[in-house]
């Protein structure tokens, strides 16, 4: 089979599209012919050598995708031709992937391969943020950092249909338009006095801030109301300042950490959460912007486009 690989760490020039042996299935695995693969910043971090990797060179990145079973490996619950997806299986950047049966997500007929590869990691992240990390209530006001990104777009839509008012932060007028298209009530720009603008909108501060930037964590607390909450789930802008527990006590504010892998912890939990996400799409509660597609063989171009930060929707790879 062909796969997008790298044997050394560095910029996108280290990527190689080469022929490698087909996966050898273990007892609890099925073989999936990939139809669409999600590209994420984690794949860039793995390529650069600053994120965890499995296996030995040549390394294969990718954890998210969808396809068709071509070898059910005598597993009674699956058959050749079944449409499935996954959000947490390594080595996805290949024509064929060995998928552990505990991680298989059956794909409804109304959900395309491209949609599944576009939404699973980012959509499931937005799902747990709005329903577990913070249980969104009708009438609340939420602030979403990087609102025009993949997680930010889905989190906006989920927060809105759960009844919240949404304020977003982003870096440009073009990205602000994307956020408004997703249903945001207000969008503020990082390069302006956004904290003053936020307090003009809601003088008491917001109920919850979703912070994926990291370096903005103290600013997030500044705009959170007393008894409010900050959910910290990413460090796109660098490490956060250390938080003084005395500040939390004095303001009755809460800091909550968030990581998707804490919630995708069993077969039943994966399927339940993915099905809710799929149902929201089928019911029209969540809509997806058209993904940008690259052939898997052109993975270098896809990585370059992702790192340019010009994209606002999902980037997917097609074998």
Asked if residue 16 is part of any domain, the answer here is yes
Helices 150-161 and 173-181 meet at what angle, rounded to 10?
40
Asked if the structure places residue 190 within a domain, the reply is yes
Q: What is the pLDDT of residue 61?
A: 95
User: Which CATH number covers residue 280?
Assistant: 3.90.180.10
pLDDT digits (tens, 9 = 90+) for 70-121: 999 999 999 999 999 999 999 999 999 999 999 999 999 999 999 999 999 9
Both 83 and 181 in a single domain? no
Co-location of 151 and 71 in the same domain? no
Do 72 and 151 lie in a common domain? Answer: no
Task: State residue 52's pLDDT score.
Answer: 76
Which domain does 223 fall in, by range? 138-257
Q: Does 231 map to a domain? A: yes
Q: What is the pLDDT of residue 274?
A: 97
Cα gap 291→47, rounded to integer Å? 22
CATH value at residue 143 = 3.40.50.720
Domain boundary among 231, 257, 283: 257
Question: Which pLDDT does position 289 carry in this prediction?
Answer: 84
Domain contains 130: no
The length of the chain is 319
Q: Are 106 and 184 in the same domain? A: no
Q: Please indicate, yes or no, whether residues 143 and 241 belong to a single structural domain of this protein.
A: yes
Q: Among 257, 272, 305, where does a domain finish?
A: 257
Per-10-residue mean pLDDT, the chain, length 319 = 97 97 96 97 90 87 97 96 97 98 97 97 97 98 95 97 98 94 97 98 98 96 98 91 95 97 95 97 92 96 89 88
CB 46 within 8 A of CB 27: no
Q: Are 302 and 294 in contact (CB under 8 A)?
A: yes
296 and 220 assigned to the same domain: no
Task: Clarify whether residues 250 and 146 are in a common domain.
Answer: yes
Name which of 185, 201, 203 is nearest 147 in CA terms.
Answer: 185
* The predicted structure's pLDDT at residue 303: 96
Note whether residue 195 is domain-resident.
yes
Whether pTM exceeds 0.75: yes
Residue 218's H or E segment, with its range, is: helix 217-222
Same domain, yes or no: 174 and 223: yes
- Whether 70 is covered by a domain: the verdict is yes
Tell me, yes or no, whether 113 and 7 share the same domain: yes
Least Cα distance to 67 among 50, 80, 54, 53 occurs for: 80
Residue 126 inside a domain? The answer is no
What is residue 308's predicted lDDT score, i.e. its pLDDT?
87
Whether 253 and 228 have beta carbons less than 8 Å apart is answered as yes
Same-domain check for residues 25 and 104? yes
Which pLDDT score, from 0 to 100, does residue 55 have?
A: 84
**Tens digit of each residue's pLDDT (9 = 90 or more) over 46-78:** 999 988 788 889 999 999 999 999 999 999 999
Which of 215, 230, 257 is the endpoint of a domain?
257
Is the domain of 231 the same as that of 293?
no
213 and 243 fall within a common domain: yes
Domain total of the chain:
2
192 falls within a domain: yes
């Amino acid at each position: 089979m062909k796969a997008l690989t790298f044997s050394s760490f560095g910029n996108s020039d280290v990527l190689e599209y080469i022929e490698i042996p087909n996966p050898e299935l273990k007892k609890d695995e099925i073989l999936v012919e990939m139809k669409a693969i999600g590209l994420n910043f984690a794949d860039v971090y793995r390529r650069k050598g600053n994120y965890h990797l499995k296996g030995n060179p040549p390394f294969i990145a990718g954890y998210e995708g969808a396809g068709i079973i071509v070898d059910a490996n005598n597993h009674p619950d699956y058959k050749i031709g079944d449409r499935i997806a996954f959000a947490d299986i390594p080595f996805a950047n290949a024509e064929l992937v060995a998928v552990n049966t505990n991680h298989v997500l059956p794909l409804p007929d109304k959900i395309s391969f491209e949609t599944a590869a576009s939404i699973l990691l980012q959509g499931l992240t937005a799902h747990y943020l709005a329903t577990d990390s913070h249980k969104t209530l009708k009438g609340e006001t939420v602030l979403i950092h990087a609102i025009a990104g993949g997680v930010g777009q889905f989190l906006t839509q989920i927060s809105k249909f759960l009844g919240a008012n949404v304020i977003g932060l982003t870096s440009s007028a073009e990205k602000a338009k994307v956020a408004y298209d997703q249903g945001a009530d207000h969008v503020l720009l990082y390069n302006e006095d956004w904290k003053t603008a936020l307090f003009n909108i809601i003088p008491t501060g917001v109920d919850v801030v979703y912070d994926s930037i990291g370096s903005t964590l103290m600013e997030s607390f500044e705009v959170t109301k007393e008894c409010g909450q900050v959910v910290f789930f990413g460090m796109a802008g660098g490490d956060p300042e250390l938080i003084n527990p005395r500040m939390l006590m004095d303001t009755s504010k809460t800091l909550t950490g968030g990581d998707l892998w804490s919630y995708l912890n069993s077969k039943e939990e994966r399927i339940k959460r993915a099905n809710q996400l799929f149902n929201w799409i089928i019911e029209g509660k969540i809509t997806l912007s058209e993904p940008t597609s690259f052939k898997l063989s052109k993975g270098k171009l896809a990585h370059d486009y992702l790192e340019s930060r010009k994209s606002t929707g999902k980037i997917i790879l097609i074998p």
